[in-house]
Amino acid sequence: MGGAEILVRARGLTKRFGDFHAVVGIDFSISRGEAFGFLGPNGAGKSSTMRMIGCVSPPTSGELTILGLNPVTDGPAIRARLGVVPQENTLDLELTVRENLLVYGRYFGLPRAVIRERSAMLLDFVQLSDRAGDQVEPLSGGMKRRLVIARSLINEPDILLLDEPTTGLDPQARHIVWDRLFRLKQRGVTLILTTHYMDEAEQLCDRLVVMDGGRIAAEGSPRALIQRYSTPEVLELRFDPGDHEQAAEKLRGLPAERLEVLADRVLIYITNGDEALAAVRGLGLEPLTSLVRRSTLEDVFLQLTGRHLDD
Amino acid sequence: MTAQATRTAPAAAPGRGGARWSFAVREFRFWLTDYRRTWRGSVISSVLGPLLYLGALGAGLGSLVNRHAGGTLGVSYLTFIAPGMLAATAMQTAFGEALYPVLGSVKWVQNYFAAVASPLRPADVFRGHLLFVVLRLTMNCGVFLALIAAFGATRSPLAIASLPVAVLTGLAFAPALMAWAVTRTRDTSFSVLMRFVMVPLFLFSGTFFPVTRLPGWLQPVAYVSPLWHGVELCRTLSLGTTDLGGAAVHAAYLLALAAAGYAAALRTYARRLHE
């Protein structure tokens, strides 16, 4: 990523609402063509950061440069080159699919002919061409989300901001959205997204920061973060609720790198899960279920904060 | 030209301070597109409403008043109330256009938030929406004035000037109401405002009877009412009895309220849309 042009740079970026510290002095920079993620639970400060990048929320303090410009004084010029997929769709449900694109394109001062041409292409891209003349209201959640993505691309933005792009969608709809975003990434569009889904972050992000309590807890590629903060494998064990505590106590004797005792499961962080399972049986313990899996960003988050992403 | 200068002035960006109304027009066009859905119903009610009022009060109640008022009004009751109701129509339009549509724009449709994700600033969003309110005021008051003229309830060609005055009366309310509505998260207070502010103003601002008929202690309240200033101005224009000094005071009062509301709205819109 060495010499790539830096599109967004933040130093000591801070956002306060009264006494509430939403974002506390964070540093990051995002290069052209990158897919960059803010991963963290609700209230971690992801959306506040996103709104500052979107130039709709002035920073309380710190530096923020977007496309070489200052968001406080050059907001309109920056926003002209951003595409925004906000957390809530902000579609006009009573207008048609095509009218929503027309209205939005006009906000950017685009001529009607240009909007019409781009709308046709974008609706094709998000697979909504056959619904172009339909009212938005009855569309499914996934279709509405795809329409918002099409809308965000109407001004051919340099940077696409996606705030929780698939929250509230069913698994199939999520996969369609991911597929479209992946295609945009392949075309070299710079993506900045927030998510509290570790699978979304792993699928889409080249690089991400893990946020918690308004601060950045760690930064890196998904793979690097997993390597640094977790073990290659995780052994998940479930015991009869009555034996849970006692079993967990015995497991502390295992030569594992780390042991997490959750309310319903025990997680054993280790290099080789199958060997660990054999060792567990060697201790005379018989779990109700056992699962050997690879570490994920969820494990990274748990290690960094002691909590789950969806808490 | 330096690289910095070219970067800070891309084609789609506004001149700072300069071309701000071109951005407002983009927001205005959203409201036009939105209005295309509902214009038929709104035009029908803007004609039917006045017809019902003018018929019931002007012709019905008027025949009674004309027989018993002993000429104290100097003109027929219809001619007396018509310009007052014109101003009142402006006030009602302002309440109708400046409360629910504004709250809906931040809460239900959220079109304001869609707009500020684009180059538009909160001030552009406010100005564009206000332009649409001006259009609605002009439409409703224009229809009303045309109906009054058709009923033969104007006495002077100056009556045509009561259209901009009625719009100004609406503007004494609309920006202030928008400034307040954009800060709301629920609509519960709207009906209270309509019931305890709009309706009393409607009834006691000289629309239906001269405020000199109010008890003495209540008369100063009427003089504070923006609607009373609008009613007085519309009525004297319609009857051809305008005196310049009085008209200037009424217009200045309405303009001052409009300007104060405008300034307040610029602040509240910025606070709500750029948190």
The 3-state secondary structure of chain A reads CCCCCEEEEEEEEEEEECCEEEEEEEEEEEECCCEEEEECCCCCCHHHHHHHHCCCCCCCEEEEEECCECCCCCHHHHHCCEEEECCCCCCCCCCEHHHHHHHHHHHCCCCHHHHHHHHHHHHHHCCCHHHCCCECCCCCHHHHHHHHHHHHCCCCCCEEEEECCCCCCCHHHHHHHHHHHHHHHHCCCEEEEEECCHHHHHHHCCEEEEEECCEEEEEECHHHHHHHHCCCEEEEEECCCCCHHHHHHHHCCCCCCEEEECCCCEEEEECCHHHHHHHHHHCCCCCCEEEEEECCHHHHHHHHHCCCCCC
Fold equal for A6-227 and A231-294? no
- Which CATH number does A231-294 carry? 3.30.70.920
Query: What is the pLDDT at residue B19?
Result: 54
Instruction: Report the complex ipTM.
Output: 0.90
Query: What is the pLDDT at residue A3?
Result: 65
Does residue B17 belong to any structural domain of this protein?
no
Does residue B195 belong to any structural domain of this protein?
yes
Residue of B270, B9, B13, B19 whose CA lies nearest to B118: B13
Does residue B18 belong to any structural domain of this protein?
no
Query: What is the pLDDT at residue B220?
Result: 87
Residue A86: list chain B partners with CB under 8 A: 113-114, 117
Mind listing the pLDDT tens digit of every residue in chain A (311 residues)? 456 899 999 999 999 999 999 999 999 999 999 999 999 988 899 999 999 999 999 999 999 999 999 999 999 999 999 999 999 999 999 999 999 999 999 999 999 999 999 999 999 999 999 999 999 999 999 999 999 999 999 999 999 999 999 998 999 999 999 999 999 999 989 999 999 888 899 989 999 999 999 999 999 999 999 999 999 999 999 998 888 888 888 888 888 888 988 888 999 999 999 999 999 998 888 899 999 999 999 899 988 888 777 65
Mind listing the pLDDT tens digit of every residue in chain B (275 residues)? 333 333 333 444 444 554 578 999 999 999 999 999 889 888 888 888 888 888 888 888 888 888 887 667 788 999 999 999 999 999 999 999 999 999 999 999 999 999 999 999 999 999 999 999 999 999 999 999 999 999 888 889 999 999 999 999 999 999 999 999 999 999 999 999 999 999 999 998 999 899 888 888 888 888 999 999 999 999 999 999 989 999 999 999 999 999 999 999 999 999 999 98
Q: What is the pTM of this model?
A: 0.91
Q: Is B118 on the interface with A (CB under 8 A)?
A: yes
CA distance B8 to chain A (A): 7
Q: Domain limits of chain A?
A: 6-227, 231-294
**Total domain count for chain B?**
1
Non-local CB neighbours of B187 within 8 Å, separated by 6+ positions: B99, B100, B103
Does residue B8 belong to any structural domain of this protein?
no
Q: For residue B114, what is the nearest residue in chain A, using CA coordinates? A: A90
CATH superfamily of A6-227: P-loop containing nucleotide triphosphate hydrolases (3.40.50.300)
Does residue B7 belong to any structural domain of this protein?
no
Whole-angstrom distance, CA of residue B73 vs CA of residue B70: 8
- Residues 23-42 of chain B with CB under 8 A from chain A are 23, 26-27, 29-30, 33-34, 37
Instruction: Tell me the sheet residues that pair with A83.
Output: A160
Whole-angstrom distance, CA of residue A126 vs CA of residue B113: 23
Whole-angstrom distance, CA of residue B97 vs CA of residue B42: 12
Q: Is B113 on the interface with A (CB under 8 A)?
A: yes
Q: Which domain holds residue B80?
A: 38-273
Query: What is the pLDDT at residue A204?
Result: 93
Residue B19: how many CB atoms within 10 A of its CB? Answer: 12
Query: What is the pLDDT at residue B3?
Result: 36
Does residue B174 belong to any structural domain of this protein?
yes
